[in-house]
Structure 1
Amino acid sequence: MKPVEIHDGDHIGTVIVGGGQAGLAVSHELLAAGEDHVVLEKETVVHQWRDARWDNFTLVTPNWHCRLPGYVYEGPRPDGFMSRDEVHDWVRGYADSFDAPVVEGVTVTLVEQTGDEGYPFRLTTSAGTVTADRVVSATGGYHLPTFPGWAADLPEGITQIHSHDYRNSDQLPDGGVLVVGTGQSGTQIAEDLLIEGRTVHLALGNAPRVARFYRGMDCMTWLARMGVYDVTAETRGLAKRESTNHYVTGRDGGRDLDLRSFALRGMGLHGRALGVADGAVVFDDTVAEKLDYADSVAESIKNDIDAYIAREGIDAPVERRYEPVWTPTGDPGPLPLSDIGAVVWSNGFRSDWSWLGDLPVLDVEGHPAHRRGVTDVPGFYFLGLPWMHTWGSGRFLGIAEDARHLVADMVAHPTSVCP
């Protein structure tokens, strides 16, 4: 990494907003193409990997998935799962592996198209106003934690924390903990609390699950070999960008997250949380339905793997299929507020594109409007969004290809007309 500075009035060829793996990937490719640029990061490079994950976080994708332009995982555990700090150090090592021109501690608050003949973009930043021929948004798509409206109905004595800010059990007061949401964060945090001996209640969402291993190999390795991560958003439909990722864990070398087994260990499973009434959190009666759905998705993935093995003539061990270890016997009913001391909200994030101002790069629903990261505004690009081009686009596995595509477009369509 090559720390640089910007000053009020500077003109820069390309400004990359965001100093995570996506922004660094574009920087790597722009350097290779000899293109003038800077990376603006509002905090420190790749800080999110350390500052926005819990202490026992691990990747859910195998380490061999970790590959960026000119940089791949070369550690001793290609089929293992890096911890939070290991991921941070690996991506930080990427930043240090080449001379990415990075400006840390600078926030971009507004991007405008000036209409001037030579400088199409004006960026208002905490370090002053600069102009640029191109702008790349590499900030991802998950910006602001979300909370349901009824969170305000919980008594002040109950601690509320979002998964974004959860680090460990010691943050929370004594008593039971209600975790709301069963995406990757919610299920892993619920397990983390259960391991720590806490009384845990889990409000289920609609997330599917996937087995960790099947027929001798990690399921995500099977899916990669099958080309699933190369399937494009256009093929699956744009609605896919709103889908919830399958829950599984890489903890302790990787294993399934089976909510039914959590119930056998004492975790209270509830349907979707609806709100507070009569001194209790109330839920709908959908526990069985949600568990059956999650299991059906996991089994359908196994069906696809079976078909691939048979089609390709692969010699793989045969494995017995999953059988439910627990089934609900009825509606557990409301959860008295007196039984919990904290709520961990794991119900997602929303995007914040306010810094784009009136730039016409969002669709009518407020989503980035692009074709593989290229927008209708010449010189403005997105990178690192979930399902931006393929299922792999929001993951380490797909960033390199997407970054190369953007830079190829930049080189093929220069925007500056300055002498």
Structure 2
Amino acid sequence: MSLQTSEHVDVIVIGAGQAGLSAGYFLNKHQLNYVIFDRGGVAESWKSQRWDSMTLDSPEITNLLPGESPENIQDDLFSTGKEFGKKLADFAGNNEIPVKEYHQVISLDKADDTGLFEVKTSHNGEEMIWTARKVIVASGMLNEPKIPSVSRAIPAAIKQFHSSQYRNAAQMPEGNILVVGSGRSGSAIAEDLSAAGRRVYLATSKVGRIPRRYRGKDIASWTVASGLLDVKTSDITDPAILTEHHPLVSGRGRRGHTISLQMLHKEGVTLMGRLLGYEQDKLLFGSDAVENIRFADQVSASTKQMIEGFINQYGLELPEPEFDEADVPDPDGSSAETATELDIAGSGITSIIWATGLTGSLNWMYLPVLDEQGQLVHVEGVSPIRGLFFLGFPWLRKRKSGVIYGMPEDAAYITDRLTEQ
């Protein structure tokens, strides 16, 4: 692999998703010379890590990119993953954002003598060193499939997939399917498979859920109006809140819908407890399926209680709560399967989908950017290393920092801080 001579720009942005492109929009406003690197294409994860029927969980009105106006956008329309990926690609083109696609960032360091950041990239078998005085890391830390160690004990005859590899029911082998993990991806994939007529077992987990609509408004409207998304990270006193799963809700279908474990059960999905292991041709599960159903129901109830408090505080006149079958609680956990083991042959399971999230690291950054717990060291996205900034990470500045809705505000803030240094 050959090494080409270096090139210099004012700013280097790493990652061409919604965070990196939002940064590019504001860097254009500041008239800075910059480049964005991505190991894939623009919005790569939206094109290569989403299933065919995937929709965004938030309506279009909350997914505006910098410079976009909310006028003439309905608050109950949902984009598919492919549509949003195209929107990002069009955004990059329309704003003439300079993206170097398929440029893998191998390393990021800072030279002691010049004070310049050095970014080594690889593209088509050639390596190059780029230098800049400022760097925005907008790549995130979640970019590799996370699969539990129990997967190694599963017989080779059982085909295994990560949720990022799932596209549709047709790609799956004949037979029944175990989906592990009931977060947003796992629940949506279980629903997709069940709708296609497949028999699905779902290893559940402790994840909250929220109603799609309440008192005549989409739940996203309530989270915005109530200020929930504007809660500052610095005001959080319980660290556990910073790592909570996003609650279940679906944007699939007209106006989206509430998704609950008991709803999946009614659609034919068998609800198991957490997957614990595999021994003697049997899959072993915990007895926590009932607890997981109740927890999700409690989160929905507390969310509606919060909304009612907001309505009362401001004296709003709104329609009464509409009936939502998927939101009806299951206090007895009657939707849960009582068995804690499944015989592979007897259950007919021929494939497993691991909806167990993503992992990754920043070990390509040869800089002291993490603390002893492996967390980013920064203050509202500004690193103590002069000239280094972060964007698009969960809870970077506020609750909304990790979602599309919060990207324009955070990108404007970070690029403003960048120009001040």
Output the amino acid matched with 1:368: L
Name the structure 1 match of 2:316: 314
Q: TM-score, normalised by structure 1?
A: 0.93
Instruction: Give yes or no for contact 1:229–1:392 (8 Å, CA) kept in 2.
Output: yes
Name the structure 2 match of 1:255: 257
| CA-to-aligned-CA distance 1:352-375 (integer Å, 9 cap, x gap) | 212112x01111121211111101
C-alpha deviation, 1:62, in angstroms:
0.9
Are the structure 2 counterparts of residues 252 and 129 from structure 1 closer, same or farther at C-alpha, using a change threshold of 3 Å?
Answer: same
Name the structure 1 match of 2:191: 191
Sequence identity (%): 32
SS at match of 2:23: helix
* Residue 343 (structure 2) pairs with residue 346 (structure 1): no
Name the structure 1 match of 2:16: 19
| TM alignment of 1:318-337, pairs within 5 A | 318-319=320-321, 322-324=327-329, 327-328=334-335, 331-337=338-344
Output the amino acid matched with 1:210: I
Name the structure 1 match of 2:403: 395
State the aligned residue count. 406
Name the structure 1 match of 2:295: 293
Output the amino acid matched with 1:188: A
**C-alpha distance in 1 between matches for 2:271 and 2:163:** 18
Instruction: Give yes or no for contact 2:106–2:364 (8 Å, CA) kept in 1.
Output: yes
C-alpha deviation, 1:324, in angstroms:
2.9
SS at match of 2:6: coil
Computed over aligned residues only, the root mean square deviation of the Cα atoms, in angstroms, reads: 1.7
**C-alpha distance in 2 between matches for 1:350 and 1:364:** 18
C-alpha deviation, 1:320, in angstroms:
6.3
Are the structure 2 counterparts of residues 256 and 71 from structure 1 closer, same or farther at C-alpha, using a change threshold of 3 Å?
Answer: same
Instruction: Give yes or no for contact 1:182–1:346 (8 Å, CA) kept in 2.
Output: yes
Are the structure 2 counterparts of residues 337 and 74 from structure 1 closer, same or farther at C-alpha, using a change threshold of 3 Å?
Answer: farther
Name the structure 2 match of 1:382: 390
Are the structure 2 counterparts of residues 223 and 181 from structure 1 closer, same or farther at C-alpha, using a change threshold of 3 Å?
Answer: same
| TM alignment of 1:117-266, pairs within 5 A | 117=114, 119-126=115-122, 127-237=127-237, 238-253=239-254, 254-266=256-268
Name the structure 2 match of 1:45: 42
Instruction: Give yes or no for contact 1:67–1:396 (8 Å, CA) kept in 2.
Output: yes
Output the amino acid matched with 2:253: D
Instruction: Give yes or no for contact 1:66–1:73 (8 Å, CA) kept in 2.
Output: no
**C-alpha distance in 2 between matches for 1:329 and 1:99:** 52
Q: Which runs of 5+ in 1 are unaligned?
A: 1-5, 414-419
Q: Which moved more, 1:153-162 or 1:38-47?
A: 38-47
Q: Which runs of 5+ in 2 are unaligned?
A: none
**C-alpha distance in 2 between matches for 1:352 and 1:75:** 41
SS at match of 1:229: helix
C-alpha deviation, 1:259, in angstroms:
1.2
| CA-to-aligned-CA distance 1:302-341 (integer Å, 9 cap, x gap) | 0000110111111111226853356247622311112201
Name the structure 2 match of 1:416: none
Instruction: Give yes or no for contact 1:18–1:138 (8 Å, CA) kept in 2.
Output: yes
Instruction: Give yes or no for contact 1:181–1:347 (8 Å, CA) kept in 2.
Output: yes
SS at match of 1:9: strand
Q: TM-score, normalised by structure 2?
A: 0.93
Of 352, 363, 375 in structure 2, the residue corresponding to residue 367 of structure 1 is 375
C-alpha deviation, 1:289, in angstroms:
0.6
Output the amino acid matched with 2:257: R
Are the structure 2 counterparts of residues 329 and 389 from structure 1 closer, same or farther at C-alpha, using a change threshold of 3 Å?
Answer: closer
C-alpha deviation, 1:7, in angstroms:
5.9
Output the amino acid matched with 2:202: L
| CA-to-aligned-CA distance 1:160-190 (integer Å, 9 cap, x gap) | 0001111011111111100000111000000
C-alpha deviation, 1:74, in angstroms:
6.2
C-alpha deviation, 1:120, in angstroms:
2.4
Q: Which moved more, 1:66-75 or 1:169-178?
A: 66-75
C-alpha deviation, 1:47, in angstroms:
1.9
- Could you list the structure 1 runs, at least 4 aligned residues long, displaced by more than 6 angstroms after superposition: none
**C-alpha distance in 1 between matches for 2:339 and 2:5:** 61
Output the amino acid matched with 2:90: G
SS at match of 1:392: helix
